[in-house]
Chains A and B, each alone.
Chain A
Amino acid sequence: MSILLYFTIVPLGTAFLVTLLRKKKGISDLLAVLSSLYLFGLSLATAGLTKSHGVMIYKVGGWFPTIGITLVVDGLSAFLLVAINLVAFLVLIYAISYMERYTDKWKFHALFMFMLAGLNGVIISGDLFNLYVFLEIASISAYALVAFGVKPQNLEAAFKYTIMGAVASIFILLGIALLYSYTSTLNMADVAYCLSDKAKNPLLVFIWVLFLAGFGLKAALVPFHAWLPDAHSSAPSPVSAMLSGVVIKTIGIYALMRIFFNVLGVSINLLSVLMASGILSMVVGAFLAIAQNDIKRMLAYSSISQVGYIIFALGVGTPLAILGGLFHLFNHAVFKSLLFLDAGAIEYSTGERNMDKLGGLNNKLPVTGYTSLMAAMSISGIPPLAGFWSKLIIIVAAVEAGYIGYAIVAVLISIVTLVYYLKFQSFVFFGKLDAVYNKIQEVPLAMKTALVILAVICVMGGLMLTGTFRPFLEGASNVILSGTGYKQAVLGAIR
């Protein structure tokens, strides 16, 4: 069981080693890629162990559960661990060539490894305050990574992100303090036990609102989304891919799921708030994305829209809907990272990010063109690519549960998504080539490898629903469905 500790020790050790050995050329790349490959293998092994053992628990220092800190991995955690480490590994391969254009690559690798350690820690922690500490580690590294360039826009976007993220973290800390004052324990399973014994209290509604505000800002739900377009479009491309594909899902959606479904317990009011907020995000994100000319800003608004789909699916609450929501989470991590890496490849070759000024790049950049075509078709929901299956499951589940109006809105927004991705493809890749761009070349080999592997996963993602991978997905959704059954699963496995 002590395998769980390596998820945080290995990235931290890599970050410190990269800082010490920063004068030698090329060693930071090697260390970072090797350690993320090791983490990916470790996450696959953990997923296999979880399928055979059930819930895996590690008691830190040998102390008993409610006195000491525990690390808990169940189906949901294993599912997210695989997704995150896979995307991180491919982004690091891409960053071998992309970050040559910036100074001080060792700083990028050190901060990236800190962020990865924080993300892994959030997923495996079984304790409320431990979750907060790792969430802060990941957030602070993200604030620093957004400010990595030298242009003025990077600094302004990073400052906005820092202040709004810090306010959200303080709300989360206030929620944890109030929850501790009510139950006097910090272990998540133990809090669930205490809350089921006591009567309903208006304090719980206040705690619930604080957590919704705090984690909602981290996940960019609609009233709290104002930082996302600036931050994700001004960061360097590997950082944008990581932030948009992985970070807002872990520290936003995963923490929301864990605390609301497993610790506090859901009620009908909460589910309808989640559904309304999801629909709002979908609509606002999609309509604002059509009006954009900058590629990365359009992709950032599209992220808001797709996160709205996931939260809407969680709000519907039936088993089929939660399965669809989790599958959409995995798909979105893959294809949104692919799209951001493609935008970075376009910027690397042509130096231009405005869609009006580009055109006809398909002859010069074939790999970039075809991979972004795969990703755009998948995210709009064209069969038989992966995105079609996940959106179909969400819409069918909404219709089955009786929310026909919301399902019609979801279908319409899917059509709008198709519209702006077609606009992206036709403006950038098809059409006439501008004479200025006659001399551009295809991107280097490292970037091509990462793009092709992600595109393959994007196409084959539909296989997740079939035989071998289906228990993987169902294990994750069963954890959410069991609600406060989490407490029996965790504490029963300890004794």
Chain B
Amino acid sequence: MSLIVKTITRFTVGLVLVYGIFITLQGHVSPGGGFAGGIIITLAFIQLMLAFGQDEVLRKLNQEKGLLLAGIGAILFLVIASRIFLKPQQHSFVAEKHFQLLSAGFLSLSEIAIALMVAAGLFVIFLTLVLLIEEEEKEKK
């Protein structure tokens, strides 16, 4: 890609990432939440890959680490959700202080876990489907 694209990308990738995190954290106040935030975070990585070529990015974040992050996000979400559902008396879902960042209890923590899982999962799917990378397999059959 040309020099203009690479320079602009250096500026805008950080902004896209911050925007994705903003949408995730404000999920209980304005529309958004885990899914939308996760997808926008993936878009930041895809933009890096388009501008700088796939080898540079794959050296830092390849498929193995992507699957690891997705697994960690998934287990974190399961732990948080089961703690909420099995002991509903300790967490209240109705917000006490409205319109503020920390007003929904454990719900925003689960949004963060969902965003991590969606971002890592979609990144791995992008690598597999678009760049046609497969995991190391030995054909035994």
Contact = CB atoms under 8 A, between A and B. Distances in A.
Direct contact, A vs B (beta carbon within 8 Å): yes
Contacts of B67: 19
A293 interface: no
Interface stretch (A98-106, A299-307, A485-493): A98-106
Question: Interface SS of chain B: helix, strand, loop or mixed?
Answer: helix
A104 B137 CA distance: 8
A456 interface: no
A13 B78 contact: yes
A150 interface: yes
A19 B63 CA distance: 13
B89 A62 contact: yes
Question: Interface SS of chain A: helix, strand, loop or mixed?
Answer: helix
A9 B80 CA distance: 12
Contacts of A60: 85
Nearest to B77: A16
Interface residues of B, number: 21
Interface residues of A, number: 18
Interface in A20-66: 20, 60-62
Interface in B99-141: 135, 137-141
Contacts, number: 44
Interface stretch (B1-9, B16-24, B39-47, B68-76): B68-76
Given A16-B71, A19-B71, A9 B82 contact: yes
Given A2-B85, A9-B82, A101 B71 contact: no
A103 B137 contact: yes
B78 A9 contact: yes
Contacts of A12: 78
A47 B95 CA distance: 38
Nearest to B74: A16
Per CB-CB distance, the 3 closest pairs between chain A and chain B, nearest first, are A20-B71, A62-B88, A16-B74
Interface of B: 67-68, 70-72, 74-75, 78, 82, 84-86, 88-89, 93, 135, 137-141
10 contacts: A5-B82, A5-B85, A16-B75, A17-B75, A20-B71, A60-B85, A103-B138, A104-B135, A150-B139, A150-B141
Given A19-B74, A62-B88, A102-B140, 12 more contacts: A5-B82, A13-B75, A13-B78, A17-B75, A19-B67, A19-B70, A20-B68, A20-B71, A20-B72, A61-B84, A62-B89, A101-B140
